[in-house]
């Protein structure tokens, strides 16, 4: 039997007054609370990334009407605003952290807004939030050479393991960008599954290292959110995104070819 596709929601910042760098991909705390209430009212069951992938890998059935709630990067509002709402509903979720952006001993700067610290990450982990990897410095992984790619993946995994006492099982690609080489490196590093973007529903046929997500933005109103979690009109909702993504993909491929040509002449 073919498993039904699953909506995987991709959040970033949850903030009252986000800065310009994160505004489009942030949601207001009031909107987030309304969206979580919508999930509860519709009888959906949030699961985390590891549980979804493990169920599809083993054939173990998922709960009725599963949905994933995921957060990228590690913004402080996930702890301040999202966690109380998730705890109120008893919802599982996954947070993918860029370890070089989290406040503390490994902080390299570069975070786009106020970031979590490791004590807050530990509190999230203690409250049914799966902590996954999102690289160390949030680069476009498919543009890195092999050594830099492995460093980003391994350093991220080691830091999370040191800070939380458990190595992460799940990974999310920064910017959603990956390639066969990147996916293979993620697998070899020991991550059991990884999320892309794609703005489509996640399906078992995508494989454990290319599961798609749908983007939740500040402009996502409750009617659009209802369509996302119900899996309706996804292609129409993100039609413009796909056109822009295809155009930018051509630019990125041209840049990559140019870099390879330059390296071959050195």
E strands, 21-89, in order: 26-27, 45-47, 66-73
Specify the pTM: 0.90
Take residue 62 and report the two structure tokens written for it. 């998922």
pLDDT band at residue 244 under the 50/70/90 scheme? very low
Q: What is the 3-state composition of the chain as percent helix, strand, coil, each rounded to the nearest 5?
A: 45, 20, 35
Domain 8-232 has CATH 3.40.50.1100: no
At residue 237, the pLDDT reads 74
Question: Which residue in this structure is represented by tokens 């410095």?
Answer: 137
72: three-class secondary structure by DSSP: strand
Q: From CA 51, how far away is CA 35, in angstroms rounded?
A: 22
CB-count exposure of residue 30 (10 Å: 0-12, 13-18, 19+)? exposed
Q: Does the pLDDT value for residue 1 go beyond 70?
A: no
Q: What is the DSSP string of 110-128?
A: --SS-B-BHHHHHHHHHTT
pLDDT band at residue 265 under the 50/70/90 scheme? low
Question: What tens digit of pLDDT does each residue of 11-51 get?
Answer: 999 999 999 999 999 999 999 999 999 999 999 999 999 99
Residue-range domain boundaries for the chain: 8-232
């Amino acid at each position: 039997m073919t498993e039904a596709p699953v909506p995987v929601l991709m959040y970033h910042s949850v903030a009252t007054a986000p800065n310009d760098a994160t505004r489009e991909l942030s949601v207001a705390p009031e909107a987030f609370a309304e969206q979580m209430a919508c999930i509860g009212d519709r009888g959906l069951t949030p699961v985390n990334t590891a549980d979804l992938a493990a169920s599809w890998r083993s054939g173990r059935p998922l709960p009725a009407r599963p949905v994933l709630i995921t957060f990228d990067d590690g913004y402080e509002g996930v702890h301040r605003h999202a966690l109380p709402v998730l705890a109120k509903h008893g919802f599982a979720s996954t947070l993918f952290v860029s370890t070089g952006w989290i406040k503390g001993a490994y902080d390299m700067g570069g975070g786009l807004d106020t970031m979590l610290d490791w004590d807050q990450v530990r509190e999230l982990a203690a409250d049914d939030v799966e902590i996954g990897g999102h690289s160390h410095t949030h680069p476009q992984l498919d543009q890195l050479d092999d050594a830099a790619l492995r460093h980003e993946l391994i350093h991220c995994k080691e830091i999370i393991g040191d800070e939380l006492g458990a190595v992460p099982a799940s990974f999310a690609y920064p910017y959603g960008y990956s390639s066969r080489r990147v996916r293979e490196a993620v697998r070899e590093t020991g991550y059991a599954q990884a999320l892309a973007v794609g703005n489509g529903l996640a399906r078992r046929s995508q494989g454990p290292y290319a599961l798609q997500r749908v983007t939740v933005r500040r402009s996502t109103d409750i009617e659009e959110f209802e369509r996302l979690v119900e899996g309706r009109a996804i292609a129409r909702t993100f039609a413009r995104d796909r056109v822009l993504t295809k155009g930018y993909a051509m630019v990125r491929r041209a840049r990559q070819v140019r870099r390879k040509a330059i390296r071959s002449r050195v």
